[in-house]
Structure 1
Amino acid sequence: MSSVKNISVVNVEVLDTETSINEFCYFDKPWYRYRHLQKLCLHIFVTTLASTNNGYDGSMLNGLQVFERWNKAMSYPSGAVLGALSNGTTFGAILAYFVASWLSDKIGRKNATIAGSTITFIGSILQANSTNYAFFLITRIILGFGNGITAVSCPLLIAEISFPDMKKESEPNTTSLKYKLSAFRSTATTSYGVFWYLGALVAAWVTYGTRVMHTSYCWRIPSYMQGFFPIVQIIGTWFSPESPRYLISKGRTEEARKVIKYYHTGDSDDERSRRFVEFQIKEIQASIELDKASNLSSYVDFIKIPSFRKRLFLIVIVGIMVNLSGNGLVSYYLNLVLDSIGIKSEDMKLQINGYLMTYNFVISLVIAFTVGRFRRRTIFLLSTALMLIFYVIWTILSALNQKSNFEHKSLSNGVLAMIFLYYFGYNLALNGLCSLYITELLPYSHRAKGVNIFQFFVNALIIFNGFVNPVAMKAIEWKYYIVYCCVLAVEFIVVYFTFVETSGYTLEEASEIFNETARSESIASSDVKEVHAEVILSKV
């Protein structure tokens, strides 16, 4: 490790982080009236369409399960056979994770997004032309492979092109600038998960609209529609900027400077803007230089290095929470859940699916625009507490409903109310905040790898949900909810004792949380800390 000490340290010539960022976060008019920030928001929205397509898939499959013609074409799948079909996109996504991280680092976040969206578009067209179960399953694997690539590249691209969050520790004297932009990156990164529900909402109402068709187009049209979001993303991403962090890592610093200057300052040449741009450039360079010095470039580091083992633990826990908090029962098997409370009408099921997705989208959108005002760990704690409370009530009402032979409509309505309230708790942290939290936990060198690991665990648990949930629901009905009540209780305890706070840091600074906890690590990492100290000192 002696060579580590010979790494050159980037000298950051501007003021400290708080001053540099906070001063530029004040404007003389609302941020949405600036053309460069409008364009940045548009590019971020286009990038979130990868999540939108994932949401469309889950909600669409919920709707298709209600159609007799789809069930007949697929030979009436149920149990594990239905689980395999639901998990088709997950199988493809897991295959993609063997290359997604490498692809994002090799060809860039932008090009990886275009490649993944192209594969997804091809898969959707093939899916719409399926003639049997096997054909449909294969096309879903293709869809999932494309989704897996964009699930890694898109959150990275959003986090790395966003305007930085304002520091919370201090506010400069800004008598002439009265409008403040305090949490742009937090909101933008959180929105990636939010727009999952936009896809789910569209799919829910598309399947509701095609229910009146008496041909196979009742399920083929929703499948064709699944290709809409990828084609929009392919076209839109072509005009989007590449990640400045990726550009700098490839030695293309001038290109990165142009991206930051245009999208963060509106191509301003005044001294204040110049210092802001140079601060971001130097901070990224210092972070990447430190990553090189630390030799942080392997998945093995998540096992070897103590601070990275902590990161790995948090990544895995968040991945588990996303899909093992009881939401899997509703996300892909709403049809079975509604059967369990005595709701059998096809029209009613499709309407409830549509209402639920509309509600989730609105709630998630509101949360995304307010998430920057609260601490990350606090939101995770509140989210798990609310989910646990509402799931317990949901379980009790389901038990009473079944014992009364579904004769009391008020109990069924009570269960539906708990499902909606449960999703309020879920959406607080596990819809959009998890993507923000994961990117903040990781330095640039391991950000793609860490997101890759996160998405792998998310999809592995989707497979669990796909095979276990329909079988368990059929076998023990409402009693299966008790399992998730216990899981949610454990999640609350884990969050309370292990989650770290990442709010109030820039994307590059967040890793300092773990550097602070690494002071007692091995002698090998002590050399790295020496370089880190030099970098921090050079920034003051």
Structure 2
Amino acid sequence: MATFKSFGTSFTGNDDFKDNSSKYALTSAILQIGSILGCFFVGPVADNLGRRGGMIIGSLIIIVGVILEIATTNLDIFIVGRFLIGFGVVQVTTAAPTYTVEVAHPQFRARAGAIYNTGWNVGSIPASIILLVVSYNDADDNPSTWQIPVGIQAAFSAIVLIGCFFIPESPRFLMSKGREDEARKFLVHYHGNDDENHPIVEFTMKEMRDALAEEERQNQATYVALFTGRAMLYRMGLILAIAFFSQYAGSWLASGFTVIVNDQFGFKTAQQQLGLSIGTNILGFIFSQFGAAYVDRLGRRTMLLYGTIAYVVCWLVIILCLNSFNQDQSQHALGIFGWIMIQVFSMIYSFTWTPLNSLYPVEILPFSARAK
């Protein structure tokens, strides 16, 4: 969207918004800043109002952020809207994978948790297509070109918001609030095929009772408990490492700053940029589905380890190509090869890190610490 003339004209008076690198960087990065600050509110919301409550509140915040964005031509207010979207997104994207793992049948829990995060591509593909369609009407005096795709964000959040009122609450959350009968009804209906005496029902109920009792005994329900004891410190170290490596893998550079990266390789028009984005997102979706299907077969550690080695090699090649191409832009083959390597990186990241970003932390944490 930063390639749209209408977007640049609306907020800076310059039809090429990405030329102002500081404003472009802040507008892009503020989403992540909102998510970081929102993390401190995720636990209290999801642990007290439920996993559905976290998704509902997050969706409402996103909708408010979108309204601010489309109702203004003041860049500062637009940035506030982006901040709110990031703040709301982290509420949803923390509560949702926790909910997914907690409601899934034990036999399919790992795959369900892995598939959850591949939904990013399900949203990015139509987003890229919508941007491509509206880009053909882009003009300095036509702000609807950028307002339409920005506004559509609220529609998807509204779907999540409404959908939350039609799904049951997590049985593990119900158990933690002493609502054992409701938790049992969920398990009987969804896991036991309406058989009150199904073995999986009895097994899961006992598992939840024992886990909650042990966590209460060890006083693991507070934020302080996250950093108390060798076992929890080790878990938190793993989670912080996953968070750090996933963000510094280069995925945000390849997606959040894709306009600048593609521009460096010679793809400058909005239609070129968006066409490439659609292709990248489709490849990402395909490879993330394969990754989700293989998490049990290959193992979490193996996928993360070899995936990391592979994408480091990719980025070394990309940097060399970008440097050589910038020195001599007549070397079109280098530009094309560099772009191809970005796609290879995206495929590797989608296969290895995308399915495990949300699954691995949820799997290794006890119930009381998952949302936190």
Q: CA-atom RMSD, angstroms?
A: 1.6
For 1:142, the equivalent position in structure 2 comes to 84
1:337 and 2:261 are equivalent in the alignment: yes
For 1:258, the equivalent position in structure 2 comes to 185
Q: Which has the higher contact order (CA 8 A, sep 6+)?
A: 1
For 1:119, the equivalent position in structure 2 comes to 61
Q: How does 1:21-420 map to 2 (within 5 A)?
A: 64-75=1-12, 76=14, 78-165=20-107, 184-213=108-137, 214=139, 215-269=142-196, 271=197, 273=198, 275-403=199-327, 405-420=328-343
| Conserved? CA contact 2:226–2:369, under 8 Å | no
1:395 Cα deviation after fit: 2.2
Query: Aligned partners of 1:83 and 1:393: how far apart in 2?
Result: 24
| CA deviation map 1:200-227 (0-9, x unaligned) | 1121111111012231111000011111
| Conserved? CA contact 1:380–1:429, under 8 Å | yes
Where do 5+ consecutive residues of structure 1 fail to align?
1-63, 166-183, 450-540
The match for 2:351 among 416, 421, 428 is 428
Query: Aligned partners of 2:325 and 2:109: how far apart in 1?
Result: 45
Query: Aligned partners of 1:440 and 1:262: how far apart in 2?
Result: 24
| Conserved? CA contact 2:67–2:151, under 8 Å | yes
Query: Aligned partners of 2:42 and 2:315: how far apart in 1?
Result: 35
**What TM-score does the superposition give when structure 2 sets the normalisation length?**
0.93
| Conserved? CA contact 2:35–2:87, under 8 Å | yes
Where do 5+ consecutive residues of structure 2 fail to align?
none
Aligned identity (percent) is: 28
Query: Aligned partners of 1:420 and 1:260: how far apart in 2?
Result: 42
Query: Aligned partners of 2:54 and 2:22: how far apart in 1?
Result: 33
| Conserved? CA contact 1:247–1:256, under 8 Å | yes
1:441 and 2:364 are equivalent in the alignment: yes
1:190 Cα deviation after fit: 1.1
| CA deviation map 1:83-118 (0-9, x unaligned) | 221133333323322221011110111122112112
| Conserved? CA contact 1:382–1:425, under 8 Å | no
- The number of residues matched between the two structures is 364
Whichever residue aligns with residue 157 of structure 2, its letter is P
| CA deviation map 1:118-156 (0-9, x unaligned) | 221222233222222012112112222221211221111
Q: How does 1:3-18 map to 2 (within 5 A)?
A: none
The structure with the greater share of residues assigned to helix is 2
| Conserved? CA contact 1:321–1:430, under 8 Å | no
| Conserved? CA contact 1:125–1:223, under 8 Å | no
**What TM-score does the superposition give when structure 1 sets the normalisation length?**
0.65
Superposed structure 1 runs of 4+ greater than 6 Å apart? none
| CA deviation map 1:18-46 (0-9, x unaligned) | xxxxxxxxxxxxxxxxxxxxxxxxxxxxx
Query: Aligned partners of 1:428 and 1:362: how far apart in 2?
Result: 9
Q: How does 1:517-536 map to 2 (within 5 A)?
A: none
The structure whose Rg is larger is 1
1:302 Cα deviation after fit: 3.1
Of 130-139 and 239-248, the range deviating more from structure 2: 130-139
